[in-house]
Amino acid sequence: MTQDTDTEGSNTLPNLTLDFEYQPEQHMINTSRLFYQSLQRRRSVRDFSTKPVPASVIHQALLAAGTAPSGANRQPWHFAITTDAQVKANIRAAAEREEQAFYNDRASQEWLDALEPLGTTASKPFLEHAPVLIGIFSQKFSYASDGSQLKNYYTYESVGIACGMLIAALHQAGLATLTHTPSPMKFLNNAFNRPATERPYLLLVVGYPSEGCTVPAIGRKTLTQIASLVGETEDGWDLEQSQP
C-alpha cells in the first residue's frame, strides 16, 4: 500500500463517510415535536425519592453526554459518580456550609430577590436523598500518550454542551435531575477524589421525584421571545405563525 504523500508524517485523521440517515419530512416534524414536548416536561427537581436507579441508564446517559462536540475534540470532561451514603452526606454537609454563607452573607439582595420565586434555601436534603450524584469536572489540560500536557480549547462551552446532552438523556430515560452549583464548589474535588487540575463545573443530582413532588410554576419564553428571523421571509418560517 502506498501512503498518501499529502498526509504522510502528518497528524491528520483519515476521513470516513458520514453515517447520516435522511428521514421523511413528516417524520422529522413529528419527532421534533415529540422531543420538544418531552423536554417541555423536564423540570429541575428538589425533592427526590430514595429509590435506586438502574446503573446502566446512568452509564448510557454518560456515553450520550460524551458524544458532545468539543474544542479540538479534546473531550475535556470528567463525570464522577457516587451512590455512596457517606460520600453524599459529606457533599451535603459541605454544600450546606457554602449555601449558608451564600444566603446569609455572600449573595447580593438582587440575587436573593431573583431566587425568591423559586423558594430555594440553604437546606439541601436532596443531596442525601437522591440515589445518584454526578460531579462534573472540566479539564483545562489533556495529556498526550507521552504524558506531555496539551491545552484544551473552549473548555467550559464544551462541558456545558455535554451537560445539556446528559440532562436531556437522563430526562428521556425517565429520570429527574437538578443542576446544583454550590458556590464555591472546590470541595467537590476532595469529595469526588479528583485532581486539582480539574475544575468542578456542576453537581448533577439524579433520581426519581418524591411522591407528590411539587415544582414552582415557572413559565418558559415563547419562540418569538427567544428567536428572531433575519432577512427575507419565506413561507413557513414566520415565527408567530409557527405551531410546534
User: Which residue ranges make up the site for ligand IYR (CB under 6 A)?
Assistant: 99, 102, 115, 118, 120, 180-183
Q: How far does CA 3 lie from the centroid of its chain?
A: 42
Nearer CB in complex with ligand IYR: 126/192? 126
Nearer CB in complex with ligand IYR: 102/141? 102
Residue matched to cell numbers 410546534: 244
Nearest approach, Cβ of 182 to ligand IYR (angstroms)? 5
Nearest approach, Cβ of 45 to ligand IYR (angstroms)? 13
Nearest approach, Cβ of 40 to ligand IYR (angstroms)? 19
Rg of the chain taking only CA atoms, in angstroms: 22
Nearer CB in complex with ligand IYR: 27/221? 221
Nearest approach, Cβ of 197 to ligand IYR (angstroms)? 24
Nearer CB in complex with ligand IYR: 90/120? 120
Q: What is the DSSP code (8-state) at residue 200?
A: E
Nearest approach, Cβ of 119 to ligand IYR (angstroms)? 10
Residue 82: beta bridge partners?
133
What letter represents residue 61's amino acid?
A: A
Nearer CB in complex with ligand IYR: 138/180? 180
What letter represents residue 140's amino acid?
A: K
Nearest approach, Cβ of 140 to ligand IYR (angstroms)? 23
Strand order in the sheet with 132-139: 77-82, 132-139, 198-207, 176-180
Return the sign of the alpha-carbon dihedral for residues 120, 45, 63, 59. Answer: positive
Residue nearest to ligand IYR (CB): 120
d(CA 216, CA 64): 29
Find, among 126, 120, 122, 56, the residue nearest to 88 by Cα. Answer: 126
242 backbone φψ class: left, alpha, beta (φ>0; ψ -120 to 50)? beta
Nearer CB in complex with ligand IYR: 181/224? 181
SS3 79: strand
